[in-house]
Every structure is written in C-alpha cells, then in structure tokens.
Structure 1
Amino acid sequence: MIHNDTREARTEAVRALEAEFSELINRFRRVITENANRVSPGMLPGAYKVFTTIVRQESVTQSSLADLLTADKGQISRTVRELEHLGLISRTADPADGRSSLLSPTPLGLERLEAARKPQENTLLTALADWPVDDIHNLARLLHALTAGVTP
C-alpha cells in the first residue's frame, strides 16, 4: 500500500510541476512575441528564433542553421530572406565553401535585438530578488538535471 501512496504522491507532484511548466512556457511565449514585435513589428516568434540563433552563432551557414533548429530548409530560406530584407542579417561568401554563404547579424540587427530585450532584462533578476542565492543555484542545478535527463 505504501508503494501506491508513494506512486500517487509522485504522480500528483509531477502533475503540479507540469502545470507550473505550462505557465512558465506561456509567459516565455509572451516575452518572445513581444521581443519579436519590438525587433520588427509583425515579426513572428519563429523568425525571432532564427534571428537570435544567428546572433548566438555569430556566423553560420543556412544549412547549419536549419540543422541547429531542426527546421525545414525551405522555411529557413524564406525566413533568412525576410531577415535580410529587414536589414537584420547579412550574407557573405563562406571562405570554406564558395557555394555557401555565411549569415551574420548586422549592427542594426544587434542594436534592435538589444533594445527589444531591454524591457525584460531585469525580469528574472527582479523575480528572484528575495530568493536566497543557494535556492537559485539549487533551481539551476535541478533544471539542468531535468533537461540533461540525469538524476540530481
């Protein structure tokens, strides 16, 4: 009987965690949508993700970008053209492969991204302002274990 109580308690705890993750994901989606609109009015979250991935990589081929995002190469190609048209990224010849080009953020793109992120810059810091630092470290450790699929 203890086994069932333990299993039920675990199931209940996991369901509560799932509900909290759902709320966190919803909040994160709102932030991404707002940031995308601040970078360029009407920009979709998917284009924002492509753009921020290019920024993180600093210089990446379109094929590598599609692999990184596990996305359709045709959709990536359309999004890259849109970002290029907006002046957020530039395309230069890939010295390693003349048939390919490297995608990089432009100074305008970096400026727009920084301005878009500014309103949320301190959100997490503010939300955790009253938390003990050990609790913040513990949360980070536990989330890492969860995403890595290991037991903490």
Structure 2
Amino acid sequence: MTGGDPRARDTSVDTIQRELTAFARRARATAARLHPDLPLVSYTLLAHIDDQQGCRATDLAAHYMLDKSTVSRQIATLEKLGLVERCPDPDDQRVQVLHATDAGISSLATTQSSRRAAVHDRLADWSEEDLDRFAAYLLRYNSAE
C-alpha cells in the first residue's frame, strides 16, 4: 500500500465501488435492450461466442469462472431465443461448439452499436490523454487477480 491518509484512500475506494455499481447497472440495461429476457450474463456469453467465432460451453465456464450449470442455463436461454446454435466440432464430432446465429450476430451488432454511441457521447468532452489513461486504468483493474 502506498503512503497517504488511509481515510482518503477509503473514500476513493468507496467512490470507485459506487461508480462500478452504476457502470454494471448500465451494462445490465444494455443487455435488456438486446432482449428483455436476456440477463447480462447471457449477453456477455453471446458477445464472447461471437468474438471467438464459436467456442465450447466449458470454455465459457472457464473464461468467466462460472459454474457449468450456470453456463448451461444461459446457453439454453440463448438457444431458445434463437441467438445461439450448437454445431459439432469438425475435429471431434463428440464435442459441441456454440456459434452465434445470424439473429444473434444482428442483435449483438445493434446493441453494441448503440452502446458504443452512448459511451462515445459520455466521453465526448474527454481529451485523448484522459481516454488513454481511463482505458489503461480499466485494463489494469480488470487484469488484477
């Protein structure tokens, strides 16, 4: 821990925690715009499946440190909504690979576009230096174990 007033540090940590909670609420709202029945976890999994151009459910569970049953329920919801489909792995027919459907890709693109525009608007008056610093801090925070 660096020096300084521990009370000031606690105040900063409290502010960060409160603002991260607000950030998470906005993320959940974004997921709800994709589909009202789609929780944030499902939206995140769909985005990852699309980004990876397909992956196994076990890969999702490991990547997001989620229980396999949680991933299974979320994938079932995505399949029911027609946003994800299972395909046999070309290298091992026993393995199922998840892929975003055309509807999933389209819904995700629409939502990501509106989300990107909203973030861009929020940060419109930030300098390039502030944006770079903020991005670096977020990367640093999210990579900490």
State the identity %: 26
Please point out which of 32, 42, 46 is paired with 1:51.
Answer: 46
Report the Cα distance in structure 2 between the residues aligned to 1:140 and 1:37, rounded to whole angstroms. Answer: 25
Structure-1 residue corresponding to 2:57: 62
Aligned residue for 1:31? 26
Which residues of structure 1 form unaligned runs of 5+? 1-5
**Aligned positions, number:** 143
TM-score, with normalisation over the residues of structure 2?
Answer: 0.82
Could you tell me how far apart the structure 1 residues matched to 2:66 and 2:142 are? 21
- CA gap 1:143/1:97 in 2 versus in 1, 3 angstroms: same
Q: For residue 44 of structure 1, what is the amino acid of its counterpart?
A: P
Opposite residue 82 of structure 2, the aligned amino acid is G
Corresponding residue for residue 125 of structure 2: 130
CA pair 12-123 structure 1, distance change in 2 beyond 3 A: farther
Tell me the CA shift for residue 146 of structure 1. 4.2
User: Which of 74, 77, 82 lines up with 1:87 in the alignment?
Assistant: 82
Give the alignment partner of residue 120 of structure 1, picking from 115, 120, 127.
115
Per mean C-alpha deviation after superposition, the further-off stretch among 34-43 and 58-67 is: 34-43
- In structure 2, the CA distance between the partners of 1:19 and 1:115, relative to structure 1 (3 Å rule), is same
- Pick one of 4, 12, 34 that aligns with 1:17: 12
* TM-score normalized by the length of structure 1: 0.79
For 1:93 and 1:50, how far apart are their aligned partners in 2?
Answer: 19
Q: 1:45 to 1:146 in 2, by over 3 A?
A: closer
Deviating above 6 A after TM superposition, structure 1's stretches of 4 or more consecutive aligned residues are none
Cα distance 1:136–1:13, how it changes in 2: closer, same or farther (>3 A)? farther
Q: Bigger radius of gyration, 1 or 2?
A: 1
TM-aligned CA deviation for residue 8 of structure 1:
4.5
Q: Counterpart in 1 of 2:67?
A: 72
Alignment-mate amino acid for residue 97 of structure 1: D
Deviation of 1:29 after TM superposition, in Å, equals: 1.9
